[in-house]
Structure 1
């Protein structure tokens, strides 16, 4: 079987609305390497879109899944509950950067996490409105896509978004939007669209993922915390992509001196198995009535076993420190790329920890995006053995999400391929 043959079958059998970053079909993977169906090896700088902070097929995680597989694969926690769900909730409550008694719910996807966080905030406040940010990504389900601050491709031709969400501009460095502007726009929303007394939640990614790896300034987080405290609004941190070590802290909210009320997690929580969660202040989390939350597959026992092993791996292999080491290595190389006159014009690196990105530009020293050159670079990357993703509101950002278990040699190999693609 070849990649070309599988691509033809995929185009016949699978809807075109599910995009595909590369024409490469995986056969097997280990740690930070993937082999396709034709036997070609790739360095993985995508990590399944930030899902594989502990790498492909980590032996500790695989062993935990196999052990649970011999016991049972499913009962539905709402029917016959199991200890693994409880143990994982207990550990998440201990880890989350929120003071006071906490409770958690486990789900399956990041979109489920963000939607359930809003449901919980609505139940706790008796309100319905939600404020989100331009450039933010919160999922593809109905309300999650309404909160997402980007029309193409997440909303185009899919009908009107669900009501009850208002967007304000996100302050990106080098743009015309400051923190003061963003906070002023929240006040404008309160005056023009919905009274603050009817807003249930403000949701924000501490570092925008699909929006281009832009980190929320500390002054913005402080301002949002103040607005929420003054108006009885729940502050939700969407850590679906930033959680579990990617930013050099277990949670990105640990970079700030204020706390959210609710944190959404998913992606790297379970080492590749579908699992998400919502962690928050117990008084808020318990607002929903019994039966109002849950899901048939939510908190699947195999995924819970994997997640508990993921947390063990983080402790035993000190992956938080490793994230910062990898990040320093990535930033050093990317900043060198930005100074080169023989490469495509690029920006310097940005993003905390190992959540690192840079922009491809039309002219050196400018901020003018070059989306076409970005497409060429990602295409050349996979042709040369590197799985690489782009993102950003202008589609000109190269993001690096290499597993935190990757060796220095693998990271350097990937960076060398990337440099060759920028030169080409």
Structure 2
């Protein structure tokens, strides 16, 4: 990792409480939220939603944004409302809105041409592509040798799954590289041995995407899956912890052990039914499924179990990656025996893709391929983002601001019994509400007070701010959160 360790001076200051977050306020950023319409969405947004609905499905639209006026940690809508955004486009805006370093990228004519002349990267990449991959993506590799770029989280996982299957079959064949005539012909009609009976193990509450393969490993909300055919693959229990963690060590350890026993049982069951598990797919924190977290010890043993059965170990860092947990990759908190075999990314990383070890590198061309396979312009944006992270020591800032936010949420938890189970790492945090209806009401009322948050699972409110969130932003968030909770008492 290129990130410098925290200096001894900073370490001392952290212990003494004398360190504050680096100032990352952008010129023109509002000092507080401002809501000027009696309803949200306001009249202009409502009209635009009607216009949009005449050509496409629009019921998920909350409001129309004015991205010209949005700045830093604030998003402005077309009706003039300005919100403190601690949801950040579903965890995908790493530096907030209109960051000058990001805007500067395409003022460079060479970079602008890379944006306009979008290549089919698998066949006609830019001259700078190999070096950019080394300088940018490989500079933050989680210890893996290769990287494949993709467009989004779903297609990153979808293609990573293919790597898991191909590598498992490679191991079954041994030294044999060539495919048999039977394999080549049978795969064309979706039959074994060319289309083998293999499975992937995923977890209850997981979200890995909405494409066909990833949807079979997604188990967070029924609306994602209803009416869509799915593979008969094993679904393991994800630990359900009691909070505060420090008061329930014994119970949570037992929960880990119970889940790990069931995981091993599923490996055996699917081996016996002729559909062996070729890979395990897991999020470091289940982000859509309710911000569910598991212990480092759980992840360590899960990796060992995967290795025992010859299954690839894939960690999905699509939402958790990019620094929000206080490390570039959330799984770096887990002290694993070795890097995962495959790790996917997107969202805050601004481009999709996956890192993998050499064992999971396809031997033949076109096995992992599509027209664009990412976008050079997105890698240029990622390069600018990483420079800001390094220059402003934003991972350090995330930990300072995250500690303040988490402490404030714990205080709210003590004051208002309708919320519980504060959890997470860095600023990647969540809190539970007693019921889904009450959770949705709190999220809606926060929006009316100029704060954008989001829900996850059935009961959680999730916080997904940019890495530039400041301590005074946390004060605003907690103040408005308390006001909403008081109004519900």
The TM-score, its normalising length taken from structure 2, stands at 0.78
The aligned residue for residue 281 of structure 1 is 357
- Output the CA distance in 2 between the equivalents of 1:85 and 1:322: 31
Q: Paired residue for 1:321, among 390, 396, 410?
A: 396
Q: Helix, strand or coil: the match of 2:163?
A: helix
Distance (Å, rounded) in 2 between the aligned partners of 1:168 and 1:357: 23
Deviations 1:129-170 (Å, cap 9, x if unpaired)?
1000111110111111111123422112x3221x15211000
Q: Distance in 1 between matches of 2:467 and 2:279?
A: 32
C-alpha change, 1:152 and 1:71, in structure 2 (3 Å) is closer
2:176 match: none
| Structure 1 unmatched ranges of 5 or more | 362-369
With the length of structure 1 as denominator, give the TM-score of the two structures.
0.89
Q: CA deviation at 1:351?
A: 0.4
Q: Matches of residues 15-414 of structure 1 in structure 2 within 5 Å?
A: 15=57, 19-20=60-61, 22=62, 24-28=63-67, 29-67=70-108, 68-73=111-116, 74-90=118-134, 91-98=136-143, 102-126=145-169, 128-156=198-226, 158-161=227-230, 163-174=231-242, 178-195=255-272, 198-258=276-336, 259-270=339-350, 275-284=351-360, 286-340=361-415, 343=416, 345-361=418-434, 370-392=435-457, 395-414=458-477
Shift of 1:84: 5.0
- Structure 1: distance between partners of 2:115 and 2:267: 50
User: 1:192-241: per-residue Cα shift (whole Å, max 9, x none)?
Assistant: 23359832110100111012222221121111111122121110000001
Distance 1:335 1:411, change over 3 A: same
- Give a deviation string over 1:340-372, Cα, whole Å, max 9, x none: 1xx4611142001111000012xxxxxxxx111
2: CA distance, partners of 1:237 / 1:216: 13
What's the offset of the Cα at 1:122?
A: 1.0
The Cα of 1:252 is off from its aligned counterpart by 0.8
- Specify whether residues 154 and 383 from structure 1 end up closer, same or farther in structure 2 by C-alpha distance, changes over 3 A only: same
Between 43-52 and 208-217, report the one with greater CA deviation.
Answer: 208-217
- For each residue in 1:266-298, what CA deviation from the matched residue of structure 2 results, as whole angstroms up to 9, or x when unmatched? 00012xxxx2010011221x2252111132232
Count of paired positions: 400
Q: Is the 8 A contact 2:264 2:305 kept in 1?
A: no
Q: Is the 8 A contact 2:95 2:385 kept in 1?
A: yes
CA distance in 2, matches of 1:295, 1:357: 36
Q: What residue number does 2:20 align with?
A: none
Give the 3 Å change call, closer, same or farther, for CA 71–225 of structure 1 in structure 2: closer
Deviations along 1:288-342, whole A, 9 cap, x unmatched? 52111132232212111111111111111111111111211111111111111xx
Structure 2 distance, partners of 1:391, 1:355, is 12
Pair 179,84 (structure 1): closer, same or farther in 2 beyond 3 Å? farther
Give distance in 2, aligned partners of 1:331 and 1:261.
32
Post-superposition shift, 1:191?
A: 2.9
- 1:51-105 Cα distance to aligned partner (Å, 9 max, x none): 012212221122113421245521221232125543443232332223xx60000
Flag the 1:276–1:56 CA change in 2: closer, same or farther, 3 A: same
1:77 and 1:299 in contact (8 A); partners too: yes
Q: Is the 8 Å Cα contact of residues 355 and 401 (structure 1) preserved in structure 2?
A: yes
**Hey, what's the Cα distance between the residues in 1 that align with 2:293 and 2:284?**
6
- CA distances 1:15-38 after superposition (whole Å, capped 9, x unpaired): 25x634x3x210122111011101
- Corresponding residue of 2:14: none
Gaps in structure 2 of 5+ consecutive residues? 1-42, 170-195, 243-250
User: Match of 1:89, SS?
Assistant: helix
CA distance in 2, matches of 1:42, 1:327: 20
- Structure-2 change in CA distance of 1:70 and 1:45 (3 Å): same
**2:270, 2:276 within 8 Å by CA — same for their partners in 1?**
no
Q: Aligned equivalents of 2:80 and 2:390: distance in 1?
A: 34
User: How has the CA–CA distance of structure 1 residues 409 and 144 changed in structure 2, closer, same or farther, with 3 Å as cutoff?
Assistant: same
Change (3 A) 1:124 1:385: same
